[in-house]
Structure formats: structure tokens, C-alpha cells
Structure 1
Amino acid sequence: MTDAAAQEAARLKKPSWRDPRLLVGILLVLASIGGVVALVGSADQTTEVYAAKDAIGVGEALAEDSLTRVKVRLGDVEGLYFPVSAGLPENLVALQRVGKDHLLPRESLGLADELDRKPVAVTVQEGLPEQAVAGTRVDVWVALPDAGNGFSEPALLLAGAEIAQVTPGSTALGATRSTELMVLVGDTQMPALLNAQANDARIAVVWNPGGRP
């Protein structure tokens, strides 16, 4: 048998289990399968956390029936939310507004005595822009009664006050339609607002698109 024929016969010979090329091929296949399994497993690392069924206003108490459970991939920020597996702590209220279907962040919840803003009803006679809805901010201006001119020059009382709720008022025959806003007011600003209301001040609100006090 010539050398060429011998080499061709060796090439066509069925490889045995001891053939290093076969072993290397098997190892490569196993490594590839392991990589795919690891990739799929890491992509499916989800955490079940709470989300709001409907918008939750500041001061509103939290209850399981007002929440839904969703599975999400949070990665490094997982600790910022409440996992369903740990349950929801008791006596929690919303310290910040949580929008409908939004995840429930820990920083937005706390105990009632941690609230630094309280909702106060403000009646506004003028029309409001359509952007002035719950969760947005407005500047509240007041004009106190003046014996000589009817009302004094308006002054800014609350800057960037968050709206908690908007309730359209009833319209009497020949009367201007009013709107009642629930605005969140800090304790330091509360006396000035209550004083203005007690003295029948004229109150107006201006939408604050920047959202800053």
C-alpha cells in the first residue's frame, strides 16, 4: 500500500473514543450548551414586587387589595422595592404619590407620623389648565381683603404645591363654576394658608410646569 493510500485509509477510519479530536469536540458541545443554559437562567432572574392598582395619594393607607403583584428584573436596584416574598409591613401610608400601575418604592412609603405634608382644600373660582391634575404642582396666590380697594395685591403663598385631588364644584344659576383642589401643604406653611382662608382671601392657582417650589 502506498503512503497516499495509507493516509486516505487512516482519514476514513471510524474514530474511537480515545481519539483526542472527538473528545475535544464533545467538550466544545458541552461548553456551548452550558453557556446557553447559564444565559437563559440569568435572563429569567425576576423578582415579584408590588405595584399600585390605582393611583395612591399622599397619606393614603396601604392595603394588599389595593396592590397587584408583578414579576420584574430589577438587578442592582432590587432593594429599593418591597418583595412579595417578604410581605408588606403594617401601618404603611404613602409619603409620596404613587401612580397607577407603578412599582411601589420603599422611599415613597412610611408611617403616618413621618408625613411632612397634609392635604388642604382650596376653592378656586377661575378655570384651571388641563395640565393641573393630581400629581402635578401649582403656585398658590392669595389676595387678602382690602377696605379701600376690595382686595390687596396678590402675593405668592405656596410655590410648587403638589395637587392631591381635583374636584369640579357645582354651578349655581348665574354663578361662576368653582373647582376644589386638595393641595399638600407643609406644617410651616399651614398657618399662612389657614389665615388667608379664615379672612376670606381670594385664592388663585397657577400651574407650575417646572414642578419645583
Structure 2
Amino acid sequence: VPGDPIDPDNLTLVEMRLGDQHDLYLGAIEAIPDGSVATRAVQAGELLPLSAVGQSADVPLRPIVIPVDSTVAESVAPGASVELWHTAPAQESGDVEAELLVERGIVRSIDEGSSLGMRSMAVEVLVPSDDLAAVLQVLSRDERLDVIGVPGAYGVTP
């Protein structure tokens, strides 16, 4: 996922004929610059594009842990694109309002919680820096955030 170090031990060298496209992909493991991180999600078995290799300063995302009350959809998996929705507490009228806080987050990890029910489930999501303040405000008030998978997004199956 974005921000994760690119570890040569996690890569497999394969020979491929890419024609005119060969400059778009990493050609040798030795060509990985020191301190490189993924700038986007890279799935297992995918060729490593040069556009997915960068430095930590190239990743404008910040990790935040979202506690969830119940299990999340199967589409919410590491590397998947998700939205974060805030559901405000009910007003006197009984109406509940939902607001989209983060349009393009990326799941970094999922903590299923303990089997004894002592710890609840949590999803670590990488959110754009510009959206971080709004998410932190909601979390500071112990209000509900929903992690919703984005069907059709990279890494998410409908």
C-alpha cells in the first residue's frame, strides 16, 4: 500500500517482452533507489510500474485507525479503495444525516479484534492529508465513521 517500503525480498524477477512499454516498468531489482516506498497499491503478481515507486514525501496520505462496531464488507481489504462516511447523531426530529468525509482512502490493514470481545474491530485507512482534520474531529467526538468499499475501484471487486 502507499507508503510501504519496497522490499526487494518481496519481488520476483521475471523476463517479459514489453516492446515500447519497457521504460514504464522497473527493469531490475538493483534499480530500486534506497528508501523507496510504494506510491500506490500494488497487488501480488503485478508488474511494478516506475510510477508506483517513490519516496515517502511523494505519498500525501496519512494513516488513521477507524474503530468499527461490526464487521466490514468483504471489499474492505488491504489495498482497497474506500470511502469514509460520518453519520451524525440523531437530531430531535429523529433524522440522521450522513456526510462523505473521505472520497478516496486506501485500506492499509484490518485488525479483527480479540476473540474474547475485549477489543473491537479496527480498520487502518490511509487518508489524504487534506481530509485528516475532519476525520480526527469526528473521532475525537466518538461519533460513527463507516468504512465503505468502492466497487469497481482498483483492488475492489463488486
TM-score by length of 1: 0.63
Alignment match of 1:123 (pick from 43, 54, 67): 67
Aligned to 1:31: none
Aligned to 2:79: 135
Task: Tell me: CA distance 1:170–1:116, structure 2 relative to 1, closer, same or farther (3 Å).
Answer: same
Aligned to 2:122: 180
How many Å apart are 1:206 and its aligned residue? Answer: 2.4
Number of aligned positions between the proteins: 154
How many Å apart are 1:99 and its aligned residue? Answer: 0.9
Once the two structures are superposed, what CA deviation does each residue of 1:140-188 show, in whole Å capped at 9, x if it has no partner?
A: 1113457868996332211232222222122545x8x842111121111
- Native 8 Å contact 2:76 2:149 kept in 1: yes
* Separation in structure 1 between the aligned mates of residue 80 and residue 64 of structure 2, nearest angstrom: 15
Counterpart residue identity of residue 132, structure 1: V
5 Å-filtered alignment, 1:7-156, equals 57-84=1-28, 87-144=31-88, 153-156=97-100
Sequence identity percentage: 29
Task: Tell me: CA distance 1:86–1:60, structure 2 relative to 1, closer, same or farther (3 Å).
Answer: closer
Higher-Rg member (1/2): 1
Task: Tell me: CA distance 1:149–1:94, structure 2 relative to 1, closer, same or farther (3 Å).
Answer: farther
Name which structure has the greater RCO, CA cutoff 8 Å, separation 6+: 2
Task: Tell me: CA distance 1:151–1:114, structure 2 relative to 1, closer, same or farther (3 Å).
Answer: farther
TM-score by length of 2: 0.82
Aligned to 2:142: 200
Structure 2 unmatched runs, 5+: none
Matched, 1:211 2:135: no
Matched, 1:163 2:140: no
- Native 8 Å contact 1:125 1:204 kept in 2: no
